Amino acid sequence: MRFLPLCLLALMLTGCVREYHPISSAPSRPQQASNQPERKPAARPAPVKIYTDATDLVSNPFRDLGEVSGEDCQSSNQDSPPNINTARKRLQIKAAGMKANAVLLHKCEIVSSTPGCYRQAICQGSALKVSNQ
């Protein structure tokens, strides 16, 4: 019985005995920048403004692009609770994917009757293309 811990200790120490060779300099890559253009970061979509009141849109002409929704799911009782801000942000991301620059927010609520989620935050709205004149 005493033999097993001694063997394990000897085995662990053999890993420490190996000689350590630090890397003095990394091998340099050949210069290929002259014949390949540099990659530019992907363009970020314009921020999507959230309107909570339809009267704010009266003075601006706009086009309705369709309904959008965003969700945040709490899978079980032990998970972090659903966040309405996260659901609202996902709503904005979906609207940006539809080339919208604004969202008219209809409602945000936390529901507990969703299959697959213990509780869920849901935000619903309309994606809009607002023209600035």
pLDDT along the chain (133 residues), means of 10: 72 62 61 62 74 87 93 92 94 93 94 90 94 70
Q: Where are the domains of the chain?
A: 49-130
pLDDT at position 35 is: 63
From the list 68, 54, 122, 124, the residue with the least C-alpha distance to 99 is 68
Contact 63, 129 (CB under 8 A): yes
49-130 carries CATH number 3.30.110.70: yes
pLDDT at position 43 is: 60
pLDDT at position 59 is: 84
pLDDT at position 106 is: 94
Rounding to the nearest 10 degrees, give the CA dihedral for residues 49, 55, 56, 58.
110
